[in-house]
Structure 1
Amino acid sequence: MADKHGDFVWYELMTTDAAAAQEFYSGLLGWSFEDSGQEGVDYRVFSAGETQIGGVLALTDDMTEGGARPAWLGYVRVDDVPATVEKVRAAGGGVMVEGQEVPGVGPFALLSDPQGAPFYVIDDRSGQDSGAFAKYAPREGCCAWNELVTDDPAAADRFYRDLFGWEKGEAMDMGEMGLYQMYNQGDYGLGAMMQRPEQMPVSTWAHYFRVPLIDPANDYVAANGGQVVNGPMEIPGGDYVLQGVDPQGAFFSIIGAKGG
């Protein structure tokens, strides 16, 4: 099915060392990398098999001096980028980058919700559908889940449902941590929102990429300069999740089956 308004279509790692990040994630997730060909910028496109998943952006000194830090961000498809930017402004969100375009693809903007969680929007006019998020069946190397931890789940619910048309799905009561509210985009589940735990310093999106087995991935992270900060932890359905920090300081999340 063709991508539509509200779909996650691309994932981007901003990092201070693109070569080191390429080495780390190719070993962790089996991704292959190629240069994007964009003049004047180190932007590397990564793929799972034949499916393009996202890109690695090397942060320049100007970017880091302006406050940019290593991080994973998701791109959401929208029908009209300028209209979306104005809607975010009116709702109390932030606009960090606007009025720019990906050559051969379309206009994009870097925004943040009213609680400060950053995300991209893009009007992809390339005519090529994205396979970056596995909508209907698990696929190794692809994103399996998008999760927002936020200071105000009720406000985030209103903001994102109004902006992208997402619909509430099932919710799990996590006791003192509150509700784990899941969301659907049409006929598939795209992710969830929850109250920010105290150990998380800011409201942010986490994007879970699928590995074949979680235990070897756990060992790989520790042996290759990363740090596991949570997990492996079993989740409903039998999969396990792990959250960590890569060698350049970007927070990442993976999901996979149990195994040695």
Structure 2
Amino acid sequence: MTDASNFIWYELMTPDPEGAKAFYDAVVGWTLSTGHGDNNDYGFITRSDGGMNGGVLRLSPDMATHGARPCWLGYLHVADVDAAATAIAADGGQLLMPARDVEMAGRIAMMADPQGAPFYIMAPTPPPGAEKTESNVFSITEAQHMRWNELATNDPAAAIAFYTKHFGWGQEGEMDMGDMGAYQFIQRGAVGLGAVMPLMPGMPAPMWSYYIGVDDIDRALAAVKANGGTVTNDPMEIPGGEYAMNGIDPQGAAFGLVGPRS
């Protein structure tokens, strides 16, 4: 695949995939599967166009006992998982889950950046005939895709230096947030991936947040409220005329939404 340093997969960790399915199917328009047969612990997120946009991992009581919490995690493409994990650890990052092979998917490891924000790295095994294709789970424009990746961290300058070094991203442009600091945009080539911002009061630790594209922000807002979600930031207009909001799903995972207002 040709996705070097791109977000190629997103994963929801949740103790209740069935409840998450009811919520995200209504809010986003996805169809979540909740695992079946021998693989009851892992399901998939399918868009209405038939494409997959990520996975759903059942958070077991044992995982929760060891500190895992409901959340969304992103997967970054690397050519060599073991080499990347070694380089990241040598540069102040942490290996949270050792590298392992996932049948028919590729090799993965869970890392944390030097400030503590977790993410996966992955060297995928593409399907036969798809060796030169790119993942389309991330799109800067399309509903039902992830559209924005936002890192809140206690050291934005160090975080930007880390990701630009290890993933080749760029950082151009910023938005002044007043007393809250700068909202600094990050790019992969000419494509805007998202932004890095200071850790806000009340945020427990550095973390990535992911914004899901929706067809209508007001419809999605109503669906969040009607299906047991919590709104933490109401829709706010963003550059370009669309709207973004934040919430927490009924199982406790934070999420963002972005889309137009009809």
TM-score normalised by the chain length of structure 2: 0.93
1:116 and 2:121 matched? no
Unaligned runs of 5+ in 2: none
1:203 to 201, 206, 217: 206
Residues 3, 37 of structure 1: alpha-carbon distance in 2 compared, 3 angstrom cutoff: farther
Find the counterpart in structure 1 of residue 17 from structure 2.
18
Offset at residue 3 of structure 1 (A): 3.1
Unaligned runs of 5+ in 1: none
Find the counterpart in structure 1 of residue 226 from structure 2.
223
Contact 1:52 1:130 in 2 (8 A): no
Please provide the CA RMSD for this pair. 1.5
Within 5 Å, which residues of 2 pair with 1:27-46?
A: 27-34=26-33, 39-46=38-45
Residue-by-residue CA offset, 1:217-245 (whole Å, 9 max, x unaligned): 11111111110001211111111111000
Contact 1:98 1:109 in 2 (8 A): yes
Residue-by-residue CA offset, 1:98-127 (whole Å, 9 max, x unaligned): 221221121001111111111011001213
Offset at residue 47 of structure 1 (A): 1.5
1:143 and 2:146 matched? yes
Distance 2:12 2:246 in 1: 15
TM-score normalised by the chain length of structure 1: 0.94
Distance 2:11 2:91 in 1: 25
Find the counterpart in structure 2 of residue 66 from structure 1.
66
1:129 and 2:134 matched? yes
Distance 1:141 1:206 in 2: 16
| Stretch moving more, 95-104 or 152-161 | 95-104
Distance 1:36 1:221 in 2: 24
- Give the SS at the match of 1:249: coil
Contact 2:99 2:110 in 1 (8 A): no
Q: Identity of aligned pairs, percent?
A: 43
Find the counterpart in structure 1 of residue 6 from structure 2.
7
- Give the SS at the match of 1:68: coil
Which amino acid letter does the alignment assign opposite residue 241 of structure 1? A
Contact 2:11 2:72 in 1 (8 A): yes
Please identify runs of 4+ aligned residues in structure 1 that moved more than 3 A: 34-41
Within 5 Å, which residues of 2 pair with 1:120-199?
A: 120-126=120-126, 127=131, 129-135=134-140, 138-199=141-202
Residue-by-residue CA offset, 1:173-202 (whole Å, 9 max, x unaligned): 222121111111112111110111113222
Distance 1:141 1:40 in 2: 25
| Stretch moving more, 40-49 or 203-212 | 40-49
Distance 2:174 2:52 in 1: 31
Distance 2:66 2:179 in 1: 37
Distance 1:39 1:103 in 2: 13
Within 5 Å, which residues of 2 pair with 1:93-112?
A: 93-112=93-112
- Give the SS at the match of 2:96: strand
Residues 227, 35 of structure 1: alpha-carbon distance in 2 compared, 3 angstrom cutoff: closer
Residues 244, 95 of structure 1: alpha-carbon distance in 2 compared, 3 angstrom cutoff: same
